Amino acid sequence: MELHGWIDAYLNHLRVERVLARNTLDAYANDLNALVRHVGAEVDPARVGAEVIASLMLENVERRGLSARSSARRLSAIRGLFRFLVRERAIAEDPTRLLDRPRVTQKLPRILSFDQVDRLLGAPDCTTDRGCLHAAMLHLMYASGLRVSELCALSVADLDRQRGVVRARGKGGKRRLVPVGEVALAHVGHYLDVVRPKAGVETPSVLFLSPRGGRFTREGFWKLVRRYAVGAGILPLPSPHKLRHSFATHLLRGGADLRAVQAMLGHADLGTTEIYTHVSPDHLREAHAKAHPRGMRR
């Protein structure tokens, strides 16, 4: 089988056996198509050596200006393909095993301050049906740390108002239960009881209905967040994912257990959650003053 055929087989394996999300599959396909453009679609994978892949990685940086993070992600996708080929006995050895992963500097997530969160959540006009819907979405996302895709995919049955939890479907189709605070529950409850019944429902199972009666898209919610951020005077303009970053960081600063935050975020690796343990210099000074036996100023 030629390279493009094996790529299709690998993507199908990721979709069926590993149950990766559509957006993740698209990212894999984009990275693997870069390899196809570099070596040709009809080449035998056994003829693709480490030198060829290394030249692609060099081209990514020098000609296309890819960042170290993007290059590392692309190499990861290619490495996954060749490991699959070894497993399927299409090739004898993995040519990527000798290639070093580009060094990626760990960037601290940017978060909103407590005041900025208050201003953003208070921006929708809750005297209107549309404002009630938008307020419910914003409050639930911040209260539960959901990803945008998880928020938009929620069904009515995913929210348990009696227990105060929401069931989110994360990466790989994994389900998790996340607590929802009383304020967010009140906003979502008002939307469900008062606003949503007025809508012409094409998809009755969807929790948050778009103006057309279907699911919100990630892009639609992104525009919604930016519009309210502009009205609230929040700069630089935040992405929806910044609400998730803020949820995790605010929980940890409030004393939440790291493992509990990991479970709420749906992270498979605790190391992914640990990035949220970063603190500002002022927070460090405050912690030192409170905890160190000689840290308090007399």
Active site residues: 147, 171, 241, 244, 267, 276
> Cβ atoms within 10 A of the Cβ of 97, count?
11
C-alpha separations of 273 from 114, 126, 220, 240, 279 in Å? 20, 34, 27, 18, 14
Instruction: Enumerate residues 6+ apart whose C-beta is below 8 A from 229.
Output: 120, 123, 237, 238
HSE of 235 in the Cβ direction (CA atoms, 13 Å)? 1
E-strand stretches of 159-243: 159-160, 165-169, 175-179
Measured distance CA(190)–CA(282) in Å, rounded: 39
Chain-centre distance for alpha carbon 116: 21
Structure token pair of residue 125: 């006009």
